[in-house]
Amino acid sequence: MSQAMSSTSVQEQPVENYLNWQKGPMSWWMSVDHKRIALMYFVSMFFFFLIGGMAALAVRLELFRAGDFFTPQTYNTLFTLHGVIMVFLFIVPGVPATLGNFLLPLMIGAKDVVFPRLNRLSYWLYVLGALVVGSCIFMGLDTGWTFYAPYSVQNRAAVILAALGAFILGFSSILTGLNFIVTTHKMRAPGLTWDRLPLFVWSLYATSLLQVIATPIVGVTLLLLILENAFGIGVFDAAKGGDPVLFEHMFWFYSHPVVYIMILPAFGIISEIVPVFSRRPIFGYKALVYASVGIAAVSFLVWGHHMFVSGMSNWARYIFSFLTFSVAIPTAIKVFNWVATMYKGSISWDTPMLYAMGFVFMFMIAGCTGVHLATLATDAHYHDTYFVVAHFHYTMQGGTVIALFAGLHYWFPKLFGRMYNEKFAKFTWLMLFIGFNGTFLPQFALGMQGMPRRYHDYPVEFEPLHAISSVFAGINGLAYVLILGHLAYSAFWGKRASGNVWNSLSLEWATPSPPPHDNFAEIPTVTEWTYGYGKAPSSEKANNPAMA
Amino acid sequence: MDNTENTSSLLDFLKGNFDQMPEQASTWAGQVDTVNNVITLISLVCTLLIVGAMLFFAIRYRRRTDNDVTSQVTHNTTMELVWTIIPTIICGFIFYVGFTTYRQMRTPPLNPLEVNVDAYKWRWEFRHDNGKKDTNLLVVPLGQAVRLIMTSHDVIHSFYIPNMRIKEDVVPDRYTYTWFTPTKVGDFHIFCTEYCGTGHSDMLATVQVVTPEQYKSYVWDRTGQSDADLSPAELGAKLFVKKTCNTCHSIDGSALVGPSLLGAYGRTRECTDGTTLVADENYLRESILNSSAKIVKGFAPAMPAFQGMLEESEVQALIAYIKTLKVDGDVQSSAPESSSATTNTKDVEK
């Protein structure tokens, strides 16, 4: 404490930055500064992340042994809570609302997003939506996060409230997307042409397009679900002549693209980290850009793979399977490019790079098991089993969350002007890696054996693998607590960091860390692309941007 | 479950009942597993290559000085084309084998044996074409194509037999179908794989593959359905299991989804709306046929109404059975003062 006090003295810290620019809770709540809004998103999202995580651990506790620990009803509420919180309150706002909000203006050399007050409204809507969704905790919402009708037409009050909350959160998402699109178009610093844009900005741009185009559809769907519950309009309820499969179509028409809203920014983070820590230009910049935009476009055409066994027509199944495979190719290209970027690089094993490499490993598993699920013959066996559970946790946790933590460690000195303890960070990385893989690898085997998902109890032959999974889930959970605790501690009391710890070349590092309220004293002019890292062999010309 | 022999050749590996997959019991199970193993093998090779390359680079090119000389190559069109085209070909191939295998799984032969499947929260009813009915037990003859015509009477369920490698949602207000030809005699799990509420994980059933002769005698054995020579209580005991009352109601005093029925008859109950009542025959009848009318305090109204799904004689048999579930030495377990109800049961017992 005392050390922290003394270190706030004038000579050590820039006199003014966004953290100390104004004081008091209201200066945060009313702030239109994208950096402060990003931090508030961080705090709120990680709060819900921990609650959702506790629900997950409770779920694993129930499944540790065959037989009941909680009542079936409690279990159903717990996995619903886990899903609803993690999807709507954590991973959908996810990277764009936190790192995206903080970095987008900095990376394009702008003083803020183009509509700062709209940005604040996005956050307020997020808080409002989160409170509405959170209140379902006390109402026994037990539909799963997917709200399939007609089951969701039976627990009316809780479903109305949850759908309303998700509806509000949808607006938060749409407004953020809109803000980012216009910001990227209108606020880039002079000389920062589209082909010089950092890949993280490109990925945010592709994500924002999805947010703006896809989210209204889930808005309509949720509104219909609310009306169905409140007034029995009979759109989805078969008992009233409605079509429950229509709900699935409408739901997944949004909820498949939303998977890419979650993962595209994660790709962007990895594309930033790999070249910095390999001291080498990113390999295949254009391919990575086209892959991001390509994935965003194709993501609208593949929702049917969530419905291969839903009773949809056979030809629809065949065609959706074919289309689904087209997502695999741009995704594979990205992985090849990251690995190629490491070739003949100068690779440091700092924590962000360890996270990035962990990401590549886990995302390979996620991608390959996705092929099992895109294939019709095997999906018939795997659909709605633990194979699917393991697959999407590999994409969402092994992919997005790991990338978010990669980015958080990479940009941590940017955010707070302080450093975490490198050794402890590496230790917790290893713990997370072991905990995560130990939790979800056995679940692939469970799925192969035929263990259905959302079961509070199971035939005893599934017990050994469930037990292993539960034990590692504990390690996984503890790792998150340690990582977040450590980062929170370091944000206040970590060692002071230099302005550009990693010698990065992108614009966000061309201003002090933590950045001043206005980001840049003077808007920079860009003359080179962002990725001119490393030192050329004597024959090649060094490629150093002017802003370095 | 896993009775794989450890054969060594790659072909055997691809054909085999590899790793964790359940025993193959339908005509296409082997083919599905082959598709699965091909994908798994390609995945393993790709993952090992990519992750191997990454680790190799991370070690081989680990930073030595802050001024290491690094490659400045930013792209390589030939290489990028190669790693676009090869995955495209692999994906096309996997789609094709998955598609052709699945197409036969969606194309039943002309004259299959047809069984109607009715899904309820939380049980499966199977009706064979001669009217033979069974709950949570699907008996099918070995080697004959069986087509299941399925519908749900409440929410969406999903019909899954791991050993047959089939799964299809069961949707209210429409028929969906699936089919298979069993190739092994034995009992296999049927799971519900679409979340359907409190009893979702109890919605288990068994598919029993028997010889065609056994199937014939099963289908024409209607004694289970007439039950003429059983006493009401005996019939009730059978119905209690057959209609899956036992999924939610114990007979040993432990509370499951619903209250235990041990000593339920004649007991004074407090309901969720604050009223108290004595559980007599009329109450039990109402609780079976219109179950949400009066809910015992501490429980959720989770039980489906059995109105129209039980014969009156079956309701009476169930009540007669519940009456036999007495707590030892429980004075309360004698009949309550409800003359009409008592008369009813006596009529049945005649």
Answer whether A237's CB lies under 8 Å from A302's CB.
no
Q: Enter the ipTM.
A: 0.91
Query: Rounded to an integer, what distance in angstroms lies between the CA atom of residue A18 and that of residue A547?
Result: 22
**Are residues B197 and A148, on separate chains, in Cβ contact within 8 Å?**
no
Query: Rounded to an integer, what distance in angstroms lies between the CA atom of residue A23 and that of residue A28?
Result: 8
Query: Rounded to an integer, what distance in angstroms lies between the CA atom of residue A394 and that of residue A441?
Result: 9
The mean pLDDT of chain A is 91
What does the angle CA A494 – CA A530 – CA A506 come to, to the nearest 5 degrees? 25
Q: Which residues of B touch A386 (CB under 8 A)?
A: none
Per the structure block, which two tokens stand in for B299? 């429980």
Per the structure block, which two tokens stand in for B295? 């809910």
pLDDT for the residue numbered B162: 96
**Are residues A380 and B83, on separate chains, in Cβ contact within 8 Å?**
no
Query: Rounded to an integer, what distance in angstroms lies between the CA atom of residue B50 and that of residue B28?
Result: 33
Neighbour-count burial for A80-109, b at 16+ CB within 10 Å, e otherwise: bbbbbbbbbbbbbbbbbbbbbbbbbbbbbb
Q: Which residues of A touch B92 (CB under 8 A)?
A: 325
**Are residues B47 and A364, on separate chains, in Cβ contact within 8 Å?**
yes
Confidence of residue A157 (pLDDT cuts 50, 70, 90): confident
Q: Which residues of A touch B47 (CB under 8 A)?
A: 361, 364-365, 368
Query: Rounded to an integer, what distance in angstroms lies between the CA atom of residue A100 and that of residue A269?
Result: 10
pLDDT for the residue numbered B244: 87
pLDDT for the residue numbered B222: 67
Q: A154 in helix, strand or coil?
A: coil
Half-sphere exposure at residue B295, Cβ-oriented, CA atoms within 13 angstroms: 14
Q: Give, rounded to a whole angstrom, the gap between the first and last alpha carbons of chain B.
A: 50
pLDDT for the residue numbered A248: 95
Q: A378 in helix, strand or coil?
A: helix
Among B27, B77, B156, most A C-beta atoms within 10 A, so best to mutate, is: B156
pLDDT for the residue numbered B13: 55
Q: Which residues of B touch A195 (CB under 8 A)?
A: none
pTM: 0.84
The pLDDT tens digits of the residues spanning A366-383 come to 999 999 999 999 999 999
Query: Rounded to an integer, what distance in angstroms lies between the CA atom of residue B63 and that of residue B56?
Result: 13
**Are residues A142 and B201, on separate chains, in Cβ contact within 8 Å?**
no
The pLDDT tens digits of the residues spanning A212-227 come to 999 999 999 999 999 9
* DSSP H helical ranges for A195-256: 199-231, 244-255
Look up residue A506 and give its amino acid.
S
Per the structure block, which two tokens stand in for B29? 């199970």
- Average pLDDT along chain B, 350 residues, taken 10 residues at a time: 45 58 93 93 94 96 90 92 94 96 93 91 88 90 95 93 96 90 96 94 95 92 61 84 88 86 86 84 83 85 83 79 76 39 36
* DSSP H helical ranges for A232-313: 244-255, 257-278, 285-298
Average pLDDT of span A493-497: 94
For residue A314, give every residue at least 6 positions away whose Cβ sits within 8 Å of its Cβ, in sequence order, or none: B103, B106
For residue A401, give every residue at least 6 positions away whose Cβ sits within 8 Å of its Cβ, in sequence order, or none: A91
Output DSSP code: residue B274: S
pLDDT for the residue numbered A140: 85
pLDDT for the residue numbered B297: 86
Confidence of residue A544 (pLDDT cuts 50, 70, 90): very low
Average pLDDT of span A266-273: 96
The phi and psi torsions of A373 (rounded to 5 degrees) equal -85, -25
pLDDT at A494 over 70: yes
pLDDT at A5 over 80: no
H-helix or E-strand spanning residue B279: none
* DSSP H helical ranges for B221-311: 223-226, 232-242, 245-248, 281-289
Pairing relationship of beta strands B268-270 and B276-278 according to DSSP bridges: antiparallel
Report the candidate in A503, A498, A510 with the shortest Cα–Cα distance to residue A109.
Answer: A510
The pLDDT tens digits of the residues spanning A113-152 come to 999 999 999 999 999 999 999 888 778 888 999 999 899 9
Answer whether A19's CB lies under 8 Å from A416's CB.
yes
Answer whether A500's CB lies under 8 Å from A513's CB.
yes
pLDDT at A323 over 70: yes
Q: Which residues sit opposite B167 in a β-bridge?
A: B160
Nearest Cα of chain B lies from the Cα of A74 at a distance, in angstroms, of 9
Confidence of residue A9 (pLDDT cuts 50, 70, 90): very low
For A57, A124, A468, B143, B190, the CA distances from A63, given in Å and listed in that order, are 10, 37, 10, 37, 20
**Are residues A452 and B192, on separate chains, in Cβ contact within 8 Å?**
yes
Q: Which residues sit opposite B190 in a β-bridge?
A: B205
Average pLDDT of span A219-247: 90
H-helix or E-strand spanning residue B160: strand B157-161
Report the candidate in A238, A149, A148 with the shortest Cα–Cα distance to residue B173.
Answer: A238
Q: Give, rounded to a whole angstrom, the gap between the first and last alpha carbons of chain A.
A: 35
Report the candidate in A144, A191, A101, A121 with the shortest Cα–Cα distance to residue A546.
Answer: A191
pLDDT for the residue numbered B283: 84
Window A:296-335, CB contacts with B under 8 Å = 309-311, 314, 317-318, 321-322, 325-326, 328-329, 332-333, 335
Q: How many CB pairs under 8 A join A and B?
A: 294
Average pLDDT of span A405-419: 96
Nearest Cα of chain A lies from the Cα of B101 at a distance, in angstroms, of 6
pLDDT at A548 over 70: no
Q: Which residues of A touch B39 (CB under 8 A)?
A: 368, 371-372, 375, 378
pLDDT for the residue numbered A207: 95
Output DSSP code: residue A506: S
DSSP 3-state helix, strand, coil percentages of chain A (rounded to 5)?
Answer: 70, 0, 30
pLDDT for the residue numbered A542: 42
Answer whether B173's CB lies under 8 Å from B163's CB.
no
Per the structure block, which two tokens stand in for A260? 């890419």
The pLDDT tens digits of the residues spanning B120-175 come to 999 999 988 776 889 999 999 999 999 999 989 899 999 999 999 999 999 988 88
Report the candidate in A107, A57, A110, A65 with the shortest Cα–Cα distance to residue A86.
Answer: A57
Q: Please give the radius of gyration of chain A, using alpha carbons only, rounded to the nearest integer.
A: 23
Query: Rounded to an integer, what distance in angstroms lies between the CA atom of residue B301 and that of residue B316?
Result: 22
Average pLDDT of span A18-22: 89
Which of A484 and A529 is assigned the larger pLDDT? A484
Window A:58-77, CB contacts with B under 8 Å = 71-73, 76
Q: Please name the residue that has the structure tokens 């022999």.
A: B5
Q: Please name the residue that has the structure tokens 């009476």.
A: B316
Nearest Cα of chain B lies from the Cα of A105 at a distance, in angstroms, of 26
pLDDT for the residue numbered B10: 57
